[in-house]
Amino acid sequence: MLIGQLAASRTGPILPSKRSGTASADSTANTGTADTSFKQWLDRVDLKFSQHAEQRLRQRGIQLQPEQLDRITSALNQAEAKGAKDSLVLFRDIAMIVNIPNRTVITAMDGSSMKDHVFTQIDSAVVVP
């Protein structure tokens, strides 16, 4: 199942990026590459994806838009304020296990992959509006 798109030319899931902190998203938005501007936007977001989570997103065809990641990050901030450590995050028909202190998505699955699954080693659940 495909959830959103990053840009018309973007295919595949979110890719990891190195934090450079030297350029702004506005300065590279004019370069014409959606990947470059998205990577710079991701540098500003306080949410990482483990290699396992990236692989699962890619395998399951899940793509997240920057606005969706903002909503997820906001929900994680609320969970952190309540003392959450390892959360099941439910966003639309996507389930993610997120380590809150490290701001890292450990794994992700779509609705069809969630059937007959039991989620363990979590201390909270977050439903993202």
Question: Is position 78 within any domain?
Answer: yes
Range of the domain at 51: 47-128
Residue 36 resides in a domain: no
With respect to residue 38, please indicate whether it lies within any of the assigned structural domains: no
* Domain total of the chain: 1
Residue 1 lies in a domain: no
The most distant pair of C-alpha atoms in the chain lies apart, rounded to whole Å, by 46
Nearest CA-CA partner of 87 in 69, 104, 70? 104
Q: What percent of the chain has pLDDT over 70?
A: 65
Average pLDDT over residues 15-28: 40
Query: Residues 29-81: pLDDT tens digits?
Result: 444 455 556 555 555 557 899 999 999 999 988 888 999 999 999 999 999 99
Q: Which of 127, 18, 110 is closest to 76 using CA atoms?
A: 127
Per the prediction, the chain carries an average pLDDT of 75
Answer yes or no: is 33 within a domain: no
Does residue 107 lie within any of the structural domains? yes
CA atoms of 33 and 58, how far apart (whole Å): 20
Q: Is residue 91 part of a domain?
A: yes
pLDDT recorded at residue 46: 78
Q: What is the pTM of this model?
A: 0.64
Share of the chain above pLDDT 90, in %: 47
Query: Is 110 inside a domain boundary?
Result: yes
